Amino acid sequence: MSAPLNTFKKALSDGETQLGCWMSMAESYTAEILSGAGFDWLLIDGEHSPNDIRSIRDQMMALKGSASHPVVRVPIGETWILKQVLDVGVQTVLVPMVETAEQARDLVRACHYPPNGTRGVGYAVGRVSNFGQTENYGPTADAQICLLVQVENKTGLENLDEILAVEGVDGVFIGPADLSASLGYLGQTMHPDMQATILGALKRISDSGKAAGILTSDDGMIQASLDAGARFVAVAMDIALLLNSAKAVAAKWQNTKS
């Protein structure tokens, strides 16, 4: 038995577009509900949501067997948190605030076992190997890890070409909100200057042969991103879906009150 095929990584490698939903509610119940919604991937957010390793594990359990591939965004690109999320079964990780090629290379090493990397060899007691029952997990694991890095500030953008040249980085995600703030356009991701910058970066990523990604719920921006070459695009957010639907229903019936 080998490490399971990373269907998300294979799809990106094959040039397929993967549409996802951002999960910020930090609940396994929500993850289980969204697992049947039809998204190609679901993002468990450990950076801006109240997730810890146990809630990430529980959401991974809720998504087991789902056609929607789980992606986990860690809060920071540190070896210890990458070690933990990989050991609970995560195959695809998204790392925020990557600024340099050196940082990207460190992340690649942290996601791979020796002699090619520095990932701790503890899979025999982890969920990742079905608690030691996947006998050939270790030798086959590296090929199924998908590392996505976020470029979302001025320094990262300036070093984008060098980051793209790092072997082992499977995709680069543009963080529009942080990038806009870093460039002096806080809260203005739809400003024409920022749109040109974001779409230009997506095209550079795509042209390099790496997968380009972004999060946006704006229909026009989704299409523009796809046209620029983006191949993993989060098109919705669980909190926004819940809030917008609830507000629409409340407004509809509030307006009927006499």
List the catalytic residues: 48
Distances (CA, A) of 199 to 79, 95, 180, 205, 237: 31, 20, 13, 10, 21
Pairing type for strands 211-215 and 92-95 reads unpaired
State the CB neighbour count (10 A cutoff) for residue 194: 18
The residue written with tokens 């997506």 in the block is 202
In one-letter notation, the amino acid at residue 140 is T
Residue 120 has, within 13 A of its CA and on its CB side, a CA count of 12
For residue 242, give both structure tokens.
């819940």
